[in-house]
Structures are given as C-alpha cells and as structure tokens.
Structure 1
C-alpha cells in the first residue's frame, strides 16, 4: 500500500503545482477588470439598503423601505442593511460587514481611487444605523424583523408587512458577541473617517469604547438571550471570546490607548489568543484578529504581539499546498472549500487575509516560514489571485459568481427585491404569498443586483443557477465586504510587477 499512497500524494502535489503554475504564468484578468469588479462590489450594497434612499442611489429599482422600523418600540431604527436575500436586519453580520468594509479601506483605500468615496458611503450607511442602535446606554438593538415570519413570505422590502419586531441585548440579557463586533465596527470605521470627518470619527470611537465596555462587563451570548430569533439564522457557534479580543484589538488600533493593549495581554489567553483557528467569518474572528495584531510585531516590532504573528503563520500555512501543517481543502478547479452553504464567504475573507498579511510581510523581508518551508508574500498574493479570479469567472463553469460581471453570471438570484418586479415597474403591492410565483419562476430576475457575490459552487465546482437553491444562489453583505479590499489590491497592481 505504501507505493500507492506515495503515488496519490505525488499526484496531489502535482495537481496543485499545475494550479499555481497557471496562476503565475497567465492572467485571466487585468487591472481594469479588477477595477470594474471593485466598482460593482461596492454598488451591491446599495441594493441592500434599508430606509430612505438618497438622491445619489444608483440601483434605482430599489425604493424606500422599513421607514417605521423601531417606531412601535419608541426608537428610531430606520436605515442599515438587509443581510442577504430576505428583509431582516441582523446586527451581528451587519456589524461584521462594516468592520470588513472599514478594514478594506484602511489597508487598500489608497488603491480605490474614485471608488473610495463610494466605499466610505457604504460604511457610513451602516455606522449611522449602528449609532442609532447603540444610543441607549446598557442596551443594543441587534435585530429588526421576525425572521421566522419574514421567511414565510416572498415580498419586496418596499411591500413587507411581516412583523418588524425589535430585539435587543441588555444588562439583563447580554450579547457579548454582537456588542463586541459592533464595537469593532464603530472603532474600525473611526479610523476610516479620521481625516475626512474628524468629528464623526470621534463620535464613532467614543461609542465604540462604551459599547465594548458593555460587552465586556455584561458577558453572555446573544444566542442564549435571543435564541429562537437568531438561531439558526446567525447563531454564534464560536462563542463571544473571539469578539471580545477582536473588539479590543480594533479599539487599540483606533485609539492607541495602552489600556486596550493591557486588556489584550491580560485576557488573551482566556479569550483564545493561544488557539489556532482556520476559518474567518461573521461568527469566528480568531484568525482575523491574529493577522490584525501581527502587524504590530511585523511593522512596529512590538514584542508583545509576536505570539499573534506565530498564530497568523499557522493560519497561512494551513492554506498553502505542500507547506508544513497544510490542511485546507480545494475543489478540482482550485477553489478553497470550507462548507456547502455559502462557501464563498470563506473564500473572500481568506483572500483578504492573504493579501493583508502579504502587505504586512513587507516589513519582514516579504517572507515567513511554515516550519522548514519559506513562504513568500508573492506566494500569498498568487493564492489570493487564484481565488479572486475563480470568483470572477476563471473556473470550470466559466461563470462569474459576481452578478453583472463578465459575459456569464447567475440570473436566478435568491433575493426578494431582485427577483420581484420593482416598485417602479409594478407600483401595486405584491402580497406575501403572491410573491412565491416569482421565487418558483424559471425566468431571470427582472432586477440585476449588480456586484452581488453569491454562495458559490459545490465541492465538485458545480453550480446550480436556481433561485430555490439558496445555499448556492443567495448573496450576502459579508461575502462582498472583504472582497472589496481584495479587488482594490489587484485593481491597483502594476502589471509590470510579476508575482
């Protein structure tokens, strides 16, 4: 059996060698293609807006919606984003989306050029809402809409008549993961607006500190406090320790206050600083936190953060075929694969971390080590490019998984507003059950949700362009947000520089 095992191993190595050779010797897209995708990836957020739309709204098939959100509870919760293809405003993924949009601008905003203002507008649409949601001390409004009732209807956000119940966490019913992620969102956004709008930036940071103190003082999971309305939709399976470390890290970055450095050092062991984790998502922030904090060691030689660099290396090494501790799975077409439900969310977050870590390694001779294997920043960039290009159409299906990009992209998107006639084309209300005819229709969506990245193909690189297959055909804000940074990186790339 030994020779057969060796042969299989050799075949796997050769397969990935071919994949990486392909990435480094040919280019499916150029900087202009990436810029086009960047513009579209930001435009997508306009299709997810809740509230009163501004005159600058470019996805004009959308209309005002959720205009009385919070009113029955005597609080203003108008605005923010619908997370995916439904009409609920979920606080945890919205906050994570905001943090990742902000991090994209922080790292790669200088490469966004005239899209920077649109990226900032996308962030501000969320932070304005998060400021409303955190205006009452000791309380955070974390959700608007009953998801169980919402999912029984297929209706436009402009028509929705399902209960707009408001859900909150408080000192009596804590929710440390959603509170700490909200603090991270506010703190990271404060960095984005520090120069262009210092008073707004200051307000965001001040609120972030208040919200983090609430998250840390009143510890508990919002999955316990709000069980049936957040589970199984956005149940926190990783717990809240990762968010506390993540939130403290972002406030430290935004404020420079030594108290947050001390907090990280004192609580890191308890909050998972010593643990490796090999995915990064709206639920699990450990890998992202390690990469974020590794910058302080790589660029500023703050020795207290050397441990985070080591754990960031472990995460990176798990992704590189042939490297020590390699454990990632890739489809035959070369796509990172984590799970069958909305797999591309992990691909976009991982691509972002690869590029961000490659940037940080510029202060470390552009290399790191996976045991005895030396890994260059260029290797990380090549792997990230492979993932980005796959999403944009360089894949076995020859299909772009970004709606509106390229010649072939999904037409049957699992998204209520996109799949129903717009309020401008069909002003009469479409009732809850009447909308299901559009869900079941074989016709393409009448409204193009430009820039939306969908859940993506299965482990065999197969994709079903089926509106009913939400695992593959539903978009989400947290899929797009990290992709904004990755696209900014490649759109600004000097084509004469070989990776």
Structure 2
C-alpha cells in the first residue's frame, strides 16, 4: 500500500443514534453524502449475458499465491514468484518467515493481513459447499492456512504479537522484486508495555474463524488456532490501547482510525462462534453500549472498521431460541446492521452510500473497491439469512426481500467483472479487458524465475516502473482500487489510487463468487439483476 493510502482519506462515513455518548477514542464524524443516483429494484428474473463466476472464483484464489512471502511450497501455481523474506525476524531472534504482502509493496502489515484471513475464513464458513462444488475448497483452505501459520509464528508468547515486518517508508524508496529485497526487514511487536488491542482483536478473530473452518478436516490444527485466539483476545482486552500508538511506523499506512473497541467486540463474537461459550457472548452483550456496538451506525466495512460485520453477525443470533434473553440488545445490533444494508441499497432516508453514474458503491477515491467487495459479501450473507429465517429487511425507503438484496450484490459483482461504462474487468486476468499496468513491484518487473540477475533498489524505478508497456507478469485475481466517482479509470502504474490491489479487496469475493456460481448453475438461462 503506497504512502498515505489511509491517512489522506481515512475519514469514516457514519451516523450516531441520538444522545449516544462517544468514547474518548471516538471516530471522526462527517456528514454523509446524499447520493444523486437512485437504484430501482425488480425481483423479476431477467435474462442477461452471464459472467463466468467459476473462472472468477478460481482466479480470486490464485491471487493469494502471488502475495505469499517466505519459502514457496511445491504446489505453488503462480510460477513467476519465488522465495522471499527468508530472514524475516532474524534480527529480533524470532522466525517470522511467511505470511502475505498486503499489496504491491513488501511490508507485512498485521492488521490488514488478519482481516484478509478473517474474510477468507468467513467466506468458507458461509459458502463452504458452494466453494467445494466449484472444486476450489482446497485452494481456499491453503490461502487461509498460509496466513494462520504465520500468525502462530508471530504470536510468540501469550502477551506478545509481532505486528509488522519491514517499514513502509524505506520500502517505498525501492522498486524491487520481493526476491531481491534490500530494504529493512526490521520487525515490530505489541506487548504488555506496547499494547495493540485492535491488532490482537482482529488476529484473534482471524484465528477463531479459521478454527471453525478446520474443525472437521484438521481438528488438531483447529484446536491450536483456537488456543492462540483465546490468548490473543485476553491479551488485547487486558492491555488496552491502539496498535498504531505502539508501532508508530504503521501510522501513514494502516492507522487504526476506528480505535480498538470494534475489534474487541469482533474478536469476542468470532470466539463465541468458535466455542459457543457464554463468556464471549456476554462480552458482546455487556459491552455493546460502551464499546459502540449498538451505538455506531456505519456505512463502511473494512480492515479498519468492523462494526457493520459485527452487527450483522449479532443480528443473526436473534433467530436462535437460546438467545431470547438477549433480545433487547440483539435487536439494537440488528437495527445498526440494517442501517448499513439499507445505506448500500439507497433506501436509508438520505444517509446512503454514494454511487457512481454506473451504479458502483462509492465511499472514497483511494482503493474504493475494498468497500464494494465487503458490501457485496455482507449483503449476500444477509440475503441467505433472510431466506433461512423467513424475514424481510425494513428500510426507511420500504421493505426489501432477499432476492432484491441479492440482485444488488450481484450488480456490484458484475460491475467488477465488466458490466460498467469502461467495459473493464477490475479483477485482473478475468475477461478480455482488465488492468495491465497494476501498481505492483513483483508483477511489473521481469520474473525472478526468468532472470535471476539482481535488480537494485533504484534500478527498478529506472528500468521498470516508468515503462509504458504492460506488466510482464499478470497479477491474476487481484481486485484493483477501481474507477473514480464518475466511472473513469486510468490504467497506469503510477496511478496507485486506482491500480494498486490489496489482499483484503479480493478476500470477500471468494464466497460471493461461489454463491453466484451456485445460483447460475441452478438457473443457467436466467439471473436476478437490478435495473436502473
């Protein structure tokens, strides 16, 4: 992620309920933009040119192999990549080899990496059968495990978690392949004296969610992940503080604008899902007010802001009889989840998420697609929940059924795959027209497997960065930042606001592609679409 990716445009679009007392680390309040484009739904099935969701699913999982750090496995399919970061942690006397590079650079940032793994795991939890039916379950499990194996290494003792390897400032002075790295690989940690409740909470969520994924197929590993998740949650809750205050080098890249309260609630929710222990549910219930869980009504779900995902998960608990005693609080969680969903659907009485003229959800100009993919995921999950619980969604603009929600999620997916004014697929490698000059060091330089000659720090800038030609390596499955508010997109390597891709952009798509593929297979000649 290029410098100031989050700093310049990290304002949150949100609303609070009346008389809600903000915590001391409260988020910035900004007025919501009233969208000028309306979306009208039809539940009538309409024939459209079908997208190849099976191909999109396969490619989305391939992307994670491009982002691997460490010693690559024998079955590595992305052959233009090779081993890298093999001395990570050596300077600190700890093994931190492995994990993922977050984007087009080579820093291993803990918070977005953990969110990526949480979303991959949630995709498998919700859509395991569909992913398996497509023949991609093994690849999905490998993508998750590559992250959780690293988290196990990074959690070296109950109250120590290594938060980052490398630093963005020195990394961004260089344009090198990961295999040639000469930049600092200094590692940074959080501990009792340098807390990071947001990072500990999200990593606990990732490991708890993954423990559910592996529970039947690899019970020993599942138990190990759960053990780490519980320790991390306890550490994050006991020693509270924002991780960017302890790890200063992360502030220009992944500053924790929302604070740590959402991650602690999020971590507790995932631990409840993994353990069925009332202790974790009580945490989500008892701290619902003071930690903002039932206070914040949010219009984004991202690596930084977890409230919408938490609220949706909490609202699903209402369908189970054993949670009746918590109905009052869970209803308030559901109210906030519905606020997010209705904002996506443009039915929230003025406080909606803006749209481009082509119909794409638009939150901010820097890497906007991350918010689109998370929205498509939450909408799809909630649509399924509405079917299973026989419910409808009540918005200020009217009542919405599950088909209408799913049709809008599909419209966002189809925009990504090419149904947009640019006729451009923003999923790299999919379709006939997609970004070819992705802002990505490894993809933009000749493969190490083809040319093992060392490429230096500035040599990469001089010889490769400014080349007008397409990248020599295709970053298949990467979801780039995407178009601007008018659906315009410039496929240029230096246009990192639009052409850089991140792991957390693609992760939510895995489950949604699988769901759409299932629906397509069930009714190949027709598909739900949203019309303008």
**TM-score, reference length from structure 1:** 0.94
Question: Which residue is 1:235 aligned to?
Answer: 255
Going by fraction, where is helix more abundant, 1 or 2?
Answer: 1
In the TM superposition, what whole-angstrom CA distance separates every residue of 1:214-245 from its partner, at most 9, and x where no partner exists?
A: 00000001111112x10110001110000000
Cα distance in structure 2, aligned partners of 1:68 and 1:108: 37
Question: Which residue is 1:16 aligned to?
Answer: 39
8 Å contact kept, 1:325–1:370: no
Question: Which residue is 1:49 aligned to?
Answer: 68
Residue number among 41, 60, 80 corresponding to 2:79 in the alignment: 60
Q: Confirm whether residue 469 of structure 1 aligns to residue 492 of structure 2.
A: no
Q: 1:491 Cα shift?
A: 1.0
In the TM superposition, what whole-angstrom CA distance separates every residue of 1:263-291 from its partner, at most 9, and x where no partner exists?
A: 11111111111221110000000001011
Q: Confirm whether residue 98 of structure 1 aligns to residue 126 of structure 2.
A: no
Q: Confirm whether residue 491 of structure 1 aligns to residue 501 of structure 2.
A: no
Q: Confirm whether residue 336 of structure 1 aligns to residue 361 of structure 2.
A: yes
Question: Which residue is 2:465 aligned to?
Answer: 439
Q: Confirm whether residue 294 of structure 1 aligns to residue 315 of structure 2.
A: yes
Q: 1:424 Cα shift?
A: 1.3
Q: 1:25 Cα shift?
A: 2.5
Cα distance in structure 2, aligned partners of 1:23 and 1:338: 29
Cα distance in structure 2, aligned partners of 1:101 and 1:46: 14
Question: Which residue is 2:385 aligned to?
Answer: 360
8 Å contact kept, 1:241–1:271: yes
8 Å contact kept, 1:319–1:326: no
Cα distance in structure 2, aligned partners of 1:323 and 1:498: 26
Q: Confirm whether residue 141 of structure 1 aligns to residue 166 of structure 2.
A: no
**Alignment CA distance shift 1:463-1:26 (3 Å):** farther
Question: Which residue is 1:74 aligned to?
Answer: 93
**Matching of residues 306-325 of structure 1 within 5 Å:** 306-324=331-349
**Alignment CA distance shift 1:319-1:421 (3 Å):** same
Q: After TM superposition, which residue ranges in structure 1, 4 or more long, deviate above 6 angstroms?
A: none
**Alignment CA distance shift 1:269-1:498 (3 Å):** same
Q: 1:389 Cα shift?
A: 0.2
Residue number among 302, 317, 322 corresponding to 1:281 in the alignment: 302
Q: Confirm whether residue 272 of structure 1 aligns to residue 297 of structure 2.
A: no
Q: 1:23 Cα shift?
A: 9.6
Cα distance in structure 2, aligned partners of 1:407 and 1:495: 25
In the TM superposition, what whole-angstrom CA distance separates every residue of 1:292-344 from its partner, at most 9, and x where no partner exists?
A: 12111135572322222222111111122345455111100000000000000
Unaligned runs of 5+ in 2: 1-34
Residue number among 175, 191, 196 corresponding to 2:196 in the alignment: 175
8 Å contact kept, 1:28–1:394: no
Question: Which residue is 2:220 aligned to?
Answer: 199
Cα distance in structure 2, aligned partners of 1:66 and 1:300: 50
In the TM superposition, what whole-angstrom CA distance separates every residue of 1:52-89 from its partner, at most 9, and x where no partner exists?
A: 00110000000000001001111000000000000110
- Aligned to 1:61, the other structure's residue is in SS state coil
Residue number among 122, 136, 156 corresponding to 1:115 in the alignment: 136
Q: 1:374 Cα shift?
A: 1.1
Residue number among 43, 46, 53 corresponding to 1:34 in the alignment: 53
Higher RCO, Cα 8 Å, sep 6+: 2
8 Å contact kept, 2:160–2:190: yes
Unaligned runs of 5+ in 1: 1-10
In the TM superposition, what whole-angstrom CA distance separates every residue of 1:170-201 from its partner, at most 9, and x where no partner exists?
A: 10010110110000000000000000000100
Cα distance in structure 2, aligned partners of 1:313 and 1:365: 16
Question: Which residue is 2:401 aligned to?
Answer: 376
In the TM superposition, what whole-angstrom CA distance separates every residue of 1:446-465 from its partner, at most 9, and x where no partner exists?
A: 01111111000000000000
- Aligned to 1:141, the other structure's residue is in SS state strand
**Alignment CA distance shift 1:22-1:257 (3 Å):** closer
8 Å contact kept, 1:62–1:422: yes
User: What CA RMSD, in Å, does the superposition of the two structures yield over aligned residues?
Assistant: 1.7
Cα distance in structure 2, aligned partners of 1:372 and 1:74: 58
Question: Which residue is 2:177 aligned to?
Answer: 156
Cα distance in structure 2, aligned partners of 1:115 and 1:481: 14
8 Å contact kept, 1:29–1:389: no
- Aligned to 1:57, the other structure's residue is in SS state coil
Question: Greater CA deviation, 99-108 or 273-282?
Answer: 273-282
Question: Which residue is 1:424 aligned to?
Answer: 449
**TM-score, reference length from structure 2:** 0.88
